Structure 1
């Protein structure tokens, strides 16, 4: 497959102790040979809650808008994609300090610096947003950290980025490192295990995923610790193929053997891979290269096989059907936007017109369930509603003017 050139400028800035160099992310050039998986069970992270495999979608933000991930829904209203991945940030090598550094190109920088308009709208729909990390032809990558401390230091940079930009996790991709360049070491057996172990300690509730490719794919265990015990998901890296990542510690529900390039894999192949995924009870279906144009017809070939439902397309952040909260009882006063299914912290609700400790009534579509919480982050007293509620003072205990976070199913 063709890959984009990777040019590096000298401009850089510092942010929260890590520097950002404007570099260009590479397109994936894929040629691994994954093996069959024999994984143990592991708890999975549910982004949307749709029955069936989760949809994971990479977006080349050099050319396409990450917001497109939120424009596709199933015909029944659920989001098609559970996870959207910003492709990609880079691992650069500082020859003076002899350390790996985290770098973003201008397009990635724009997405991250505009999280309120590029990331939070997706999260408000229940979609998790990850940042992909890969090499940059400078000799530094995820499998050649020379010590446990070096791996921990880089994990801290990643955790800082997740916190700074409100991301939902990190995706690892062992490409384009050009190990040995600038006098760097070759891949070793401990590096990747040290890295994911440190990152999991720093981000116990965030998602960590592994694009099954490169030297890291054969260096998944060290001193009795497996990468599969630290990451949430792993998926095949060869588009248009079906191959189960061999990541001990991950159950079938956390693996994606099917991978497609939306702009090059045929619809018939994409549908066939989806059928295999369902028949073999795997939990992930991987999409790559989502364009700015409407491709819902193509995606329907996949969603019909995965869920028995077509895909529909619609830009904008306000769904036609959803939950609406009102400032006053009897559906009066200021109203929020209609809110789609998903889990919403206070900041995510506020982006949709919600005010903390404000709501007094709610309209709920038939068949939907709303769980309201008195505190942010789904904590405190909770109330579960399954129909329109005209007056929160009638709930037990009184829910009037106390709601701060919500789960909608």
Structure 2
């Protein structure tokens, strides 16, 4: 009997030890995993605006530096919520459209995975054609009111900060005032007091660029970062109180800015001592080749697609379109086109350039007729499947117009 009891206690001890050991192993595994996904890198911070009306905010998190495993992007910006105007109460109010609200309500799905990688997630705020904007608060109480609304959003959804964009306000609409010299500074002061440890950034555009000092106060005292807003250009924001280490002179449209320009801007960013590198409009496409050239300069490493690219909405089937690429082997997508006729002007509006296409991805059931000249003139070829390199048909860098049809 004594022997049986002894054996029983030994079994219990072994089971308890095994359970504790498994729990310890799991804890160590979680720590290892967490540390692996928040690898730091040195160099300028890379920023990506994502148009969440058509693209998934998760996609910037799918890119990593090839050797260190660090995320390529340091900041992802949800573009964009709005500053609306309540005519009944004559006050500016926060507004999120259905796509922005879906991201916020699904923050555990869309925001937390980025934050787990060490990527800061900001929410951009811009006007909505109703007369309210960041530059026409009539007094400090009004600025404080809107700042409290933004701080509540940041706290509720555990975001990393707010980005201001002074577009589409339509100042004067609904009887609202015109921009004044105190409004933006007061808003920054009030918001900074409410979210002292969060990021506040400024997309350098619109009337606000003229109202960055007031009553001895400079916008740079309250902002963390500011960036050039004119894509495919290199021009530093002129924000009093901000140093180049807090600015991006480079502004890259990931679907329109040529790779050679992006690389030139990356080199200039390093040489000129700027601390940020701004990009815009990441979609559900593989940008790893485009990003590699940039990361080689900024961080000394290639970029790889290390995660999953998602559609938006999350459960939607991606719309099939014809992809146009600047280089052979489907490198550097410049345009994604639906059925239709495209003159040179329309191709340029879509992101392509004249005589600058080297490969096409053509979904099943689509036919693409490519033309040598504008308005469907000159030599032509009919394609009904992917073309990895137009050199195969002596049409490389020759497309000036095209027609897409579906069966």
Deviation digits for residues 245-268 of structure 1, max 9, x if unmatched? 011111111010001000111111
Q: TM-score, normalised by structure 1?
A: 0.65
1:172 aligns with 2:172: no
Residue 51 of structure 1 corresponds to: 42
Residue 306 of structure 1 corresponds to: 298
C-alpha contact (below 8 Å) 2:221/2:242 kept by paired residues: yes
Residue 288 of structure 1 corresponds to: 280
1:128 to 79, 104, 120: 120
1:67 aligns with 2:63: no
1:251 to 233, 243, 246: 243
Deviation digits for residues 141-176 of structure 1, max 9, x if unmatched? 000001111001000000000000010000000000
Residue 206 of structure 2 corresponds to: 214
1:78 aligns with 2:70: yes
Residue 365 of structure 1 corresponds to: none
CA distance in 2, matches of 1:305, 1:136: 38
Gaps of 5+ in 2: 1-37, 310-407
| Secondary structure of 1:149 counterpart | helix
Deviation digits for residues 317-353 of structure 1, max 9, x if unmatched? 9xxxxxxxxxxxxxxxxxxxxxxxxxxxxxxxxxxxx
**Structure 2 CA distance for partners of 1:74 and 1:225, relative to 1, 3 Å:** same
- CA radius of gyration, larger in: 2
1:90 to 82, 87, 90: 82
| Secondary structure of 1:117 counterpart | helix
Deviation digits for residues 223-279 of structure 1, max 9, x if unmatched? 111110001000000000100101111111101000100011111101111110001
Residue 227 of structure 1 corresponds to: 219
Q: Give 1:314 shift.
A: 2.2
CA distance in 2, matches of 1:274, 1:166: 31
Q: CA RMSD in A?
A: 1.2
Deviation digits for residues 160-216 of structure 1, max 9, x if unmatched? 000000100000000000001111100000000000000000000000000001111
CA distance in 2, matches of 1:295, 1:271: 14
Give the count of matched residue pairs.
271
| Secondary structure of 1:178 counterpart | coil
Gaps of 5+ in 1: 1-46, 318-409
C-alpha contact (below 8 Å) 1:48/1:127 kept by paired residues: no
2:136 to 134, 141, 144: 144
CA distance in 1, matches of 2:139, 2:39: 38
C-alpha contact (below 8 Å) 2:228/2:251 kept by paired residues: yes
| Secondary structure of 2:58 counterpart | helix
C-alpha contact (below 8 Å) 1:221/1:227 kept by paired residues: yes
C-alpha contact (below 8 Å) 2:59/2:308 kept by paired residues: no
CA distance in 1, matches of 2:269, 2:211: 26
C-alpha contact (below 8 Å) 1:233/1:255 kept by paired residues: yes
Q: Give 1:49 shift.
A: 3.7
| Secondary structure of 1:66 counterpart | coil
Residue 397 of structure 1 corresponds to: none
Structure holding more helix per residue: 2
Further displaced range: 243-252 or 168-177: 243-252
Q: Give 1:48 shift.
A: 6.5
CA distance in 2, matches of 1:281, 1:311: 22
**Higher RCO by CA contacts (8 Å cutoff, separation 6 or greater):** 1
1:240 aligns with 2:238: no
C-alpha contact (below 8 Å) 1:143/1:216 kept by paired residues: yes
Q: Give 1:99 shift.
A: 0.5
Q: Give 1:50 shift.
A: 1.5
